[in-house]
Structure 1
Amino acid sequence: MTNPVHHKRFPRIRATTTLALTGALMLAGPALADASPLAGLGSSGSVTTEPERIEAPRLASVNNFRDIAGTGAGYVGFGGLHVNSGVFYRANALTPDPADLGTLDSLGLTAVYDLRTDQEIAAKPDVLPNGVRYTRIQVLAADPSGDIAGLRSPEEARTYVQDGYRSTVNDATSRSGYRQLLTELADTAGPQVFHCTAGKDRTGWATALLLGIAGVPRETITADYLLSNDYSADTIRATLDQITAAKGPEAAEIYRQLIGVDASYLEASFAEVDANYGSFDRYLVDGLGLSMSTVAKLRVKLLA
């Protein structure tokens, strides 16, 4: 896998209006629109040059590092606006080799949020560029490995993971942790990155929350979530080969459900949101306890 030294930029020009941006917030209800800090960005119909698109580098030693905005033009959110690149990055454990550490340094990161448990952090501490603020945020009430030794079939493994995703929506520790993460992302200037161990489950839900706040359709959010299987393909394959050699192909197929991602996992979380809160926006406010101004600030960062 190549490791580009510099990220690519994609300049684009579009008509950006205060009316369009404020209208995007109004899709979530008049209260959020009233709380919008978008006012004063320009007169209706004004044409502005959009900031250059930043293509996230591929890191050989942090293989699930990527921009939540997607690649190329970026994902489309409220009002047909593309999600801004170079703002929020997602990753697996940040243990870069020297070359990748230099690449991370070139991104100008201001903050890193580590969603792992104390045990995971002790086993593989982050290695960060100088000057980057590090914050550990607990989003799990228990060890993520749980009772996986007792799983006897791929079906049981998938159900186990789906139950974990449902719990993430309702668990008090998870809701508090994701509230803290989203609030700090909103209030902190500069490019920021959040991560867990594999960069797929805890990090995947955080990314789904941000893209949902930007108004990206759920099918696109799910497609982005599933990219972890591609970005981490070599690691997944090597792990399964080791398990096959040690325990046989049946055990490997069980573990495949745990070390990869499946659309049904993310769908389990969204179904829980819909069932318990009625809408995604109600979950943000009532479930996570986010203020309307925090949601508005995130939308500005993601779309303005």
Structure 2
Amino acid sequence: MSRHGSRIAGSLLVTSGVLLAGFSGAGLAQADPVVPPALAEQLNSGLGSVGAGKTAPDAPRMASIPNFRDVAGTGAGYAGAHGKNLNKGVFYRADAIVPKGDDVATLAGLKLAAVYDLRSDQEVHDKADIVPAGAEYVRIPILSGNINDMVGKIKSPDDARRMMQEMNQAFVTGAAEKAGFAQLLTGLANTKGPAVYHCTAGKDRTGWTSMLLQSIAGASNETIMSDYLLTNEYNKEWAAKTRAYIASTQGEQVALLFEPLLGVEASYLQAGLDKLKADYGTVDKYLTDGLGLDQATLGKLKAKLLR
């Protein structure tokens, strides 16, 4: 592979991270954090809830941030624990925050309190965020390992798939990854207002975070998987353009080689969840024993996530 091709592949890899239906122990129903009503009311003030029985608007679609969406879903919000729906307008997930044209005003209208950037130094250098006024910008790089070494092992599409599976397993085993997710979830729990977290394509590091938040809220395995796979729809145009660029500059064989890096497959996150189940048993144990989160932090998150 040429040096240029390796650079393209490395860029694709760091853009890439769920549950398969039937995975047991995904939710936290057996260990619900208890939040005093007064604290819950304080946490929800100024967030997406617009009054009892009402929901916030759906997240806007933005051409320049195509994978921008609400963790809570659309419409009434995903079904969560205790017969409640997830609270829209609180946590957003996205790809790189680079609004253009009308999207600048659209993003500003969400009145975000914080933007959490999960990308590496090189990713940020290549495509720096344009942070809306009033939002705090927080960098939490979540990725370890030598990207060039990983890319050099790709000799077939299946190698690319295995690489993505290994990346998701590292979300469970990697010290740097676990520390990053712990910092992110703690930050989201304590942010005073709506927040967005993102990586470059908004699918792998962002996808794992979304799985954790939706699990905390008690969303079903099927809901979490369906939401995870929506990346393939939201990023469809970006993926097609990126593949076309690779084919035109490196050839069709290289495009086929790296095509699995352009989207998500159930097996990617499932590999991480299989490792999570083997090491911790449940998502709840991963959050507490693996990430070191306490019940107060989980309680804050749950109070924000459910209405």
Q: TM-score, normalised by structure 1?
A: 0.84
Partner residue, 1:246? 249
Partner residue, 1:36? 35
- Bigger-Rg structure (1/2): 1
Give the superposition deviation at 1:169: 1.1
Aligned partner (choices 90, 97, 108) of residue 87 of structure 1:
90
Q: Matched residue of 1:89: which SS?
A: strand
**CA distance in 1 between partners of 2:91 and 2:269 (Å):** 20
Contact 1:37 1:296 in 2 (8 A): no
Contact 2:92 2:196 in 1 (8 A): yes
Partner residue, 1:4? none
Q: Is it true that 1:192 corresponds to 2:195 in the alignment?
A: yes
Aligned partner (choices 263, 266, 277) of residue 263 of structure 1:
266
Q: Is it true that 1:27 corresponds to 2:29 in the alignment?
A: yes
Contact 1:154 1:254 in 2 (8 A): yes
Contact 2:77 2:88 in 1 (8 A): yes
Partner residue, 2:180? 177
Q: Matched residue of 1:258: which SS?
A: helix
**CA distance in 2 between partners of 1:248 and 1:28 (Å):** 52
Partner residue, 1:96? 99
**CA distance in 1 between partners of 2:58 and 2:227 (Å):** 15
Give the superposition deviation at 1:188: 1.1
Gaps of 5+ in 2: 1-26, 42-50
Aligned partner (choices 296, 299, 304) of residue 299 of structure 2:
296
The root-mean-square deviation of aligned C-alpha atoms, in Å, is: 2.0
Give the superposition deviation at 1:40: 8.6
**CA distance in 2 between partners of 1:107 and 1:151 (Å):** 41
Give the superposition deviation at 1:247: 3.0
Q: Is it true that 1:121 corresponds to 2:124 in the alignment?
A: yes
Q: Matched residue of 2:165: which SS?
A: helix
Q: Is it true that 1:287 corresponds to 2:290 in the alignment?
A: yes
Partner residue, 2:112? 109
Give the superposition deviation at 1:141: 2.2
Q: Deviations over 1:38-88 (max 9, x none)?
A: 47979xxxxx82243321000010111111111112111111211010000
**CA distance in 1 between partners of 2:156 and 2:235 (Å):** 23
Contact 2:28 2:218 in 1 (8 A): no
**CA distance in 2 between partners of 1:136 and 1:41 (Å):** 27
Give the superposition deviation at 1:37: 2.7
Q: Percent identity?
A: 45
Give the superposition deviation at 1:194: 0.4
**CA distance in 2 between partners of 1:206 and 1:26 (Å):** 15
**CA distance in 2 between partners of 1:26 and 1:241 (Å):** 42
Contact 1:194 1:203 in 2 (8 A): yes
Aligned length: 272
Runs of 4+ displaced beyond 3 Å: 38-42, 142-146
Q: Deviations over 1:5-38 (max 9, x none)?
A: xxxxxxxxxxxxxxxxxxxx98232xx44x4234
Contact 2:28 2:215 in 1 (8 A): no
Q: Deviations over 1:198-227 (max 9, x none)?
A: 110111111111001111112211111111
Partner residue, 1:154? 157
Q: Is it true that 1:233 corresponds to 2:236 in the alignment?
A: yes
**CA distance in 1 between partners of 2:222 and 2:148 (Å):** 28
Partner residue, 1:77? 80
